[in-house]
Amino acid sequence: MVSRSSFCQRFAAGVGGLPTSIRNGAARAGDVGRARVPVVAGRVQLREKGVLVCGEEVGSLKTQSRRRWREGSSSSVTVSTNAMSAQLEEEPAAKGEARVILEVQGLRAVVADTRQEILNGVDLVIREGEVHAIMGKNGSGKSTLSKVLVGHPDYEVTGGTAIFKGENLFDKEPEERSHCGLFLSFQSPVEIPGVSNMDFLRMACNARRNARGLEELGPLEFYGFVAEKLTALNMDPRFLDRNVNEGFSGGEKKRNEILQLSVLEADMAILDEIDSGLDIDALRDVANAVVGLKKDNNAILMITHYQRLLDYIMPTYVHIMEAGRIVKTGDMSLAAQLEAGGYNAVQAMKM
Amino acid sequence: MAMAAATGSAGVTGALASSRQGAAVSRISSHKCFVPVNFAAQRFRATGKGIGNFVIRLEFALGFFMPGLLERWLNGWYGQLGVGTRATIAEAVKSEASGAVSGSLRDQAEASFSLSKDPGGPDFFLLDLAEKLENSVPSEEQGDSLGARALAELRYKSAEQALNLRWPTNKDEAYRFTDVRFLKNLDIAPTPAQPASVPNFESELGLGETEAFRLVFVDGVISESLSKVEGLSGGAYVGSVCKITADSAGSALSQALEYLGKPAAGTQDDLFTFLNGLGVQDAGLVFAPKGVQLSKPIHVVYYSTGRGGSKDGEEVTSISLATPRLLVVAESGARVEIIEQFVGAPDQVYWTNQVCEIYVANGAEVSHSCSQEQERSAVHIKQTHVSQGEKSTYKLVEAEVGGRLSRHNLQVIQLGSDTQTEFSTFSLSSKRQVQDLHSRLVLDHPRGISRQIHKCIVTHRLGQAVFDGNVKVNRFAQQTDAGQLSRSLLLAQGATVNVKPNLQIIADDVKCTHGAAISDLEEEQLFYFQARGIDPLTARSALVFSFGAEVLQSFGNDYLKKRLERLVKSSLATDGVVNPNVPVGQ
């Protein structure tokens, strides 16, 4: 069993000499790898053309991947009309290949009040088990992308699609997106005086359980449930008695977001600058908590400015956003280049 | 947003007044310090989140800005209104060069804020009411004890002052938004001093649940049988002033009586204070001598039976009037916790006209909870006069949820430096309810710290909330740190709130913040709930409820807190504003 992305990764590891330790799924790639080399070469060719793995390659496979989601691990491949698909067709969908969780294509969005365009055609595909990091200058649209995906009312989608687990996100209300398993850890979570964390978490948890057809948890059952999560995250149970984010320090707010993520057991977590405003220890704790929540069947999209977070949560891909679109995709080495030379250096390299 | 722009310009600084205060403005403008560059009633239109527009009126005149004299931060000034709701914010912020303004000018300006004393002939309704109140006090009450004599003196003085005033109308600044004229159309029946038969309300109020000394007023008279004051020590006293006999003459206790009806200089007069003094039959005294910290809170219950009140269907024809009075004296270093609770017999028509005087001596601490849960047809008028000595602390937590008209005049006068003052108040106005808080804090000494938060919810188009929050930082009150925040939530079309936060700053080295927000629920908060999978209706319910809970949570007494939360929740649910099944605040 091998995932398409892990092919790519193995190949990249072979060619680029990257440390394999950072490669998620690399261990599983195993013996089938060799037989698929030509296919992988096709992908490399794509890269050399300056077309980036994530955005472009899967864009053409939209129908395919969606069908695959429905059919589970069946290996049927539909012929895409896209020009690039000619090459991609060569790559058969391996059995049990990681499913696409989120597929964003040509996403454009404006600020609802001012009509100012922020997102200008974002393409992104995230599969199960992957960790993606988006970096980019201030104002490049990173946070907007995360907010648009969860349905923030300040932004309006003007074009493109976002398919989450086979369903169109933009057809759904924000709470329905959450029920599906999409989670956004806010960059600066709002304070809600008067609502205790416990009540809030229970409402959220039961809302998701309801949506999945599970029975609601009563206050006592829920306490048992959440106590486990608190222990796992190494958090003080007194957190639950405090009002949501009220008077929380920066670190406490971020921890609280991760607690919510763990209670909601989301399939895909968007972490918007969970490293901002944290001291070194707090960053380590929060990052470790996130790593602890990482599973083979969920995915993480994190937005950050610094490599430090990436050192803890190893991303499968690093994307660079500029002027509302993803302009470059790579692996950890891209983040290292950024750290060393800044955005200008990376831009120059692109040319 | 239009409001933001408006407040931006108001933030420059301004002597500002609403159109009705035109006279005051013209006086101020004649002075060199105030050069109004602009005086106009400005209208701002803003588009609501839903359909349609609404109008926010912000009336102000800009004053002359003197840089470096005033440090002021505007906090959270913004406004978002629901469709069709109404709000007025008339804000007054005055800054003056230290010592540059003559006293007479200030007095003039001030006079226009307070009640008009212009006689214009006797007010016959008032004369009639005064006579009724006078007759309601039985002659044997005017007994011989020290306390009874103090009460008699108070009645005498109050009569004189009451008759110099007129019944307030909306031409008086203090009653501009609050209609008390309807009382004139009612037959007002002061309750007789004879004890009434009282239904058992102890269990309903859960009085047994609370670990507290208890003082119960029934129709303005202290009921010995319902009160429970055993176990006081250290010379503390809780009970009726009439029980203070000549034996204690010269003692600290008898000196406490000196404070009765003698508010600190600078306290503004109000007709209803004098009407209380005129008809007062009994007064409670809570006395904590030097350095004594009362072990338990003192729970003061005001129960109205509604004797003499009557209704003809929905129409109120006569209203029963009780005039309870409480005096709290905390000597230096003493600590007292007071809980005032206003309740009444179900479906009765009554008016409680209460006065509470609190003296917090140097280094003393008084925390004061106040819960007004009267019947929907009842009237509640309350004066709280507080004076604070050096390094003293006064904290008030208040919830006003009952009554047809609820008016609270809260005045705190600072008598020494380094005081701490906190007000947390909440009001809920539903159908045909007017909840009005006029608070006034006068700072005359350095390094005072004050924090005020006022929250109100209006849930019905026939509901109204009024808030006038005045903070006066006088010339010698340097290094004052004063913060005020008023937040109003309008949840029905046609719901009204009138907010008038006003700061008057004369000292030049102070930190004062204020903010007033009138809004529907905050979008960011709603979205936060939604992003966690909670549907908007549940989110709204939780947010509306938590809006008030922020203040309710400050109640020190758990039983009362739970009771108020239930009351607020059921009232909100009745108006269809929240889903009662939302698991918040349980």
Domain boundaries of chain A, sorted by first residue: 4-350
What pLDDT sits at residue B5? 29
Q: What is the per-residue pLDDT across B368-416, written as a single tens digit (0 to 9) for each?
A: 999 999 999 999 999 999 999 999 999 999 999 999 999 999 999 999 9
Q: Is residue B7 over pLDDT 60?
A: no
Task: Give the residue-averaged pLDDT of A89-96.
Answer: 42
What pLDDT sits at residue B140? 61
**Of B364, B130, B382, the residue nearest B256 (C-alpha):** B364
Verify whether the Cβ–Cβ distance B583 to A219 is below 8 Å: yes
Verify whether the Cβ–Cβ distance B534 to A190 is below 8 Å: no
Q: Is residue B481 over pLDDT 80?
A: yes
CA atoms within a 13 Å half-sphere pointing along the CA-CB vector of A206: 18
**Of B528, B565, B534, the residue nearest B550 (C-alpha):** B565
Least confident of A345-349, B179-183, B454-458: A345-349
* Closest Cβ opposite residue B534 in set A175, A193, A194: A175
Q: What is the per-residue pLDDT across B344-364, written as a single tens digit (0 to 9) for each?
A: 998 889 999 999 999 999 999
What pLDDT sits at residue B584? 65
Q: Which residues pair with B486 in a beta bridge?
A: B454, B516
Beta carbons of B525 and A190 less than 8 angstroms apart: yes
B9 inside domain: no
Backbone angles phi, psi at A3, to 5 degrees: -95, 155
Cα-based angle A316, A322, A328 (whole degrees, multiple of 5): 40
**CA–CA distance, A312 with A325 (Å, rounded to integer):** 26
**Of B112, B113, B94, B91, the residue nearest B42 (C-alpha):** B91
Long-range CB contacts for residues B527-530, cutoff 8 Å, separation at least 24: B527/A152, B527/A153, B527/A174, B528/A186, B528/A189, B528/A190, B528/A192, B528/A244, B529/A175, B529/A200, B529/A203, B529/A204, B530/A151, B530/A173, B530/A174, B530/A175, B530/A178
* Smallest CA–CA distance from A203 into chain B, residue: B534
Task: Give the residue-averaged pLDDT of A77-94.
Answer: 36
What pLDDT sits at residue B143? 65
Which chain A positions have a beta carbon within 8 Å of B582's beta carbon?
203
What pLDDT sits at residue B309? 84
Give start and end residues of each alpha helix (H) in B71-226: 103-113, 124-136, 146-163, 202-205
Q: Is residue A66 over pLDDT 50?
A: no
Q: What is the per-residue pLDDT across A38-58, written as a single tens digit (0 to 9) for each?
A: 333 333 333 333 333 343 333
Full domain range(s) for residue B274: 181-416
**CA–CA distance, B356 with B283 (Å, rounded to integer):** 10
Verify whether the Cβ–Cβ distance A178 to B530 is below 8 Å: yes
Q: What six digits make up the tokens of B142? A: 């005017």
What pLDDT sits at residue B435? 96
Looking at the structure, tell me whether residues B198 and B327 fall in a common domain: yes
* Cα dist from B314 to A272, B352, B403, B458, whole Å: 57, 20, 14, 22
Q: Which DSSP helix (H) or strand (E) runs through A45?
A: helix A37-48
Residue numbers of B between 546 and 565 with CB closer than 8 Å to A: 546-550, 553
> Would you place residue B90 in the very low, low, confident or very high pLDDT band (cuts 50, 70, 90)?
low
Task: Give the residue-averaged pLDDT of A133-137.
Answer: 93
Q: What six digits make up the tokens of A318? A: 């690093």
Q: Is residue B99 over pLDDT 80?
A: no
- As to burial, measured by CB atoms within 10 angstroms (0-12 exposed, 13-18 middle, 19+ buried), residue B140 is exposed
Sign of the four-CA dihedral B108, B110, B113, B115: negative
Task: Give the residue-averaged pLDDT of B143-149.
Answer: 82
Backbone angles phi, psi at B306, to 5 degrees: 80, 20
Rounded to two decimals, what is the model's pTM? 0.71
Q: Is residue B93 over pLDDT 70?
A: no
Q: Is residue A279 over pLDDT 80?
A: yes
- As to burial, measured by CB atoms within 10 angstroms (0-12 exposed, 13-18 middle, 19+ buried), residue B285 is buried
Based on its alpha-carbon atoms, the radius of gyration of chain B, rounded to whole angstroms, reads 23
How big, in percent rounded to 5, are the helix, strand and coil portions of chain B?
A: 25, 35, 40
B528 in A contact zone (CB under 8 Å): yes
Which chain A positions have a beta carbon within 8 Å of B522's beta carbon?
190
> Would you place residue B336 in the very low, low, confident or very high pLDDT band (cuts 50, 70, 90)?
very high
Task: Give the residue-averaged pLDDT of B68-90.
Answer: 45
Looking at the structure, tell me whether residues B410 and B540 fall in a common domain: no
- State whether residue B84 is helix, strand or coil: coil
* Cα distance between the two ends of chain B: 37
**Of B296, B322, B298, the residue nearest B308 (C-alpha):** B322
Task: Give the residue-averaged pLDDT of B323-347.
Answer: 95
- State whether residue A111 is helix, strand or coil: strand
CB atoms within 10 A of CB B248: 18
Q: Which residues pair with B312 in a beta bridge?
A: B315
Cα-based angle B206, B210, B215 (whole degrees, multiple of 5): 90
B403 inside domain: yes
Mean of pLDDT over chain B: 79
**CA–CA distance, B397 with B560 (Å, rounded to integer):** 12
Least confident of B224-233, B241-250, B561-570: B241-250
B126 inside domain: no
Structure-model confidence comparison of residues B184 and B83, the more confident one:
B184
Verify whether the Cβ–Cβ distance A192 to B585 is below 8 Å: no
Structure-model confidence comparison of residues A343 and A63, the more confident one:
A343
Q: What six digits make up the tokens of B401? A: 């949820």
* Cα dist from A278 to A252, A256, B422, whole Å: 9, 13, 33
Beta carbons of B24 and B10 less than 8 angstroms apart: no
> Would you place residue B545 in the very low, low, confident or very high pLDDT band (cuts 50, 70, 90)?
confident
- State whether residue B133 is helix, strand or coil: helix
**Of B45, B33, B48, B44, the residue nearest B10 (C-alpha):** B44
Beta carbons of A135 and A321 less than 8 angstroms apart: yes
Q: Which residues pair with A271 in a beta bridge?
A: A185, A302
Q: Is residue B6 over pLDDT 90?
A: no
Structure-model confidence comparison of residues A283 and B85, the more confident one:
A283
B188 inside domain: yes
* Closest Cβ opposite residue B524 in set A190, A208, A244: A190
Q: Is residue B492 over pLDDT 60?
A: yes
Which chain A positions have a beta carbon within 8 Å of B532's beta carbon?
175, 178, 200, 203-204, 207, 260, 264
Q: Which residues pair with B320 in a beta bridge?
A: B189, B350
What pLDDT sits at residue A343? 84
B191 inside domain: yes
**CA–CA distance, A103 with A59 (Å, rounded to integer):** 8
Q: B367 to chain A, minimum CA–CA distance in Å?
A: 21
Last residue of one domain, picked from the residues B416, B449, B479: B416
Which chain B positions have a beta carbon within 8 Å of A264's beta carbon?
532-533
Last residue of one domain, picked from the residues B366, B393, B416: B416
Which chain A positions have a beta carbon within 8 Å of B586's beta carbon?
199, 219
**CA–CA distance, A275 with A306 (Å, rounded to integer):** 8
* Closest Cβ opposite residue B550 in set A190, A193, A200: A193
**CA–CA distance, A177 with A187 (Å, rounded to integer):** 19
Q: Is residue A122 over pLDDT 50?
A: yes
Based on its alpha-carbon atoms, the radius of gyration of chain A, rounded to whole angstroms, reads 20
Q: Is residue A220 over pLDDT 70?
A: yes
Which chain B positions have a beta carbon within 8 Å of A207's beta carbon?
532-535, 538
Q: What six digits make up the tokens of A236? A: 């003080």
Number of domains in chain B: 2
Q: Look up the CATH superfamily of A4-350.
A: P-loop containing nucleotide triphosphate hydrolases (3.40.50.300)
Which chain B positions have a beta carbon within 8 Å of A190's beta carbon?
522, 524-525, 528
B27 inside domain: no
**Of B434, B427, B460, B457, the residue nearest B543 (C-alpha):** B457
Q: B545 to chain A, minimum CA–CA distance in Å?
A: 8
**CA–CA distance, B421 with B367 (Å, rounded to integer):** 10
Looking at the structure, tell me whether residues B540 and B406 fall in a common domain: no
Q: B412 to chain A, minimum CA–CA distance in Å?
A: 27
Q: What is the per-residue pLDDT across B206-220, written as a single tens digit (0 to 9) for each?
A: 777 778 999 999 999
Q: What six digits make up the tokens of B520? A: 């529907």
Question: Which string of DSSP letters, residue by residue, matches B347-410?
Answer: T--EEEEEEEEEEE-TT-EEEEEEEE---TT-EEEEEEEEEE-TT-EEEEEEEE---SEEEEEE
* Smallest CA–CA distance from B554 into chain A, residue: A194
B302 inside domain: yes
B538 in A contact zone (CB under 8 Å): yes
* Cα dist from B322 to A24, B223, B273, whole Å: 78, 14, 13
Beta carbons of B441 and B472 less than 8 angstroms apart: yes
Which chain B positions have a beta carbon within 8 Å of A179's beta carbon?
533
